[in-house]
């Protein structure tokens, strides 16, 4: 039997406020495009079923599991990855809070935890422990840093509520 070549579709995807052109098959997931084509390693491959949260990104500001989304369906959508939040020299408040509280152990779940925590704080600036647990419940963490993660979200809420002051000139 002769193998049939997969048909390629031209797409333009907006990732972290930059437009990227590619030719992809209908079966290429958003996760594989982000990692393999763009070299963005924040989203991780975990379960491949959209259940563990390791691959979480935002699509038009809403958390989504990139391992189950066909990339060709993401044209004209704003995609944000962990790398789009901040970087080592200028981390987002949530990233800084996770660093401050040492809320990561192996780091595999970290992408999903950070993306979901940031989404939570955008809609609920001062969440309770119960709200944090509910918001992060779809992210699997096997290392047992749940207490530190909850503390990190509270710390992020504090950092985000603190106004930036300028030093006197």
pLDDT 10s digits, 79-98: 999 999 999 899 999 999 99
Assign 163 a pLDDT band (cuts: 50, 70, 90): low
Q: Which of 19, 54, 85 is the last residue of a domain?
A: 85
Contact 112, 54 (CB under 8 A): yes
Do 132 and 98 belong to one domain?
Answer: yes
Q: Are residues 72 and 111 in the same domain?
A: no
pLDDT tens-digit series, residues 27-72? 999 999 999 999 999 999 999 999 999 999 999 999 999 999 999 9
Domain count, the chain: 2
CA 52, CA 62: separation in Å to the nearest integer? 17
- Cβ-contact 85, 56 below 8 angstroms: no
Q: What is the mean pLDDT of residues 131-155?
A: 91
CATH number of 50's domain: 3.10.20.30
Check whether residue 19 and residue 80 sit in a common domain: yes
3 state SS of 169 = coil
Residue 167 has pLDDT above 80, yes or no: no
Q: Identify the domain boundary among 38, 62, 85.
A: 85
Q: List the CATH number of the domain containing 106.
A: 1.10.150.120
Domain limits for position 55: 9-85
Which tens digit of pLDDT belongs to each residue from 99-138?
Answer: 999 998 888 889 999 999 999 999 999 999 999 999 999 9
d(CA 120, CA 122): 5
Residue 3, pLDDT > 70, answer no
């Amino acid at each position: 039997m002769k193998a049939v070549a997969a048909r390629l579709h031209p797409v333009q995807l907006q990732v972290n406020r930059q437009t990227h052109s590619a030719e992809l098959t209908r079966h290429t997931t958003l996760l594989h495009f982000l990692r393999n084509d763009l070299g963005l390693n924040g989203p991780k491959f975990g379960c491949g079923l959209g259940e563990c949260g390791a691959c979480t990104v935002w699509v038009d500001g809403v958390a989504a599991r990139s391992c189950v989304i066909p990339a060709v369906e993401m044209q004209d959508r704003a995609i944000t990855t962990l790398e789009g939040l901040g970087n080592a020299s200028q981390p987002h408040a949530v990233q800084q809070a996770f660093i401050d509280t040492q809320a990561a152990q192996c780091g595999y779940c970290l992408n999903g935890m950070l993306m979901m925590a940031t989404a939570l704080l955008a809609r609920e600036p001062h969440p309770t422990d119960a709200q944090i647990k509910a918001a992060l419940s779809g992210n699997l963490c096997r290392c047992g840093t749940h207490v530190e993660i909850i503390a990190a979200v509270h710390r992020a809420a504090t950092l985000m509520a603190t106004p930036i002051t300028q030093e006197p000139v």
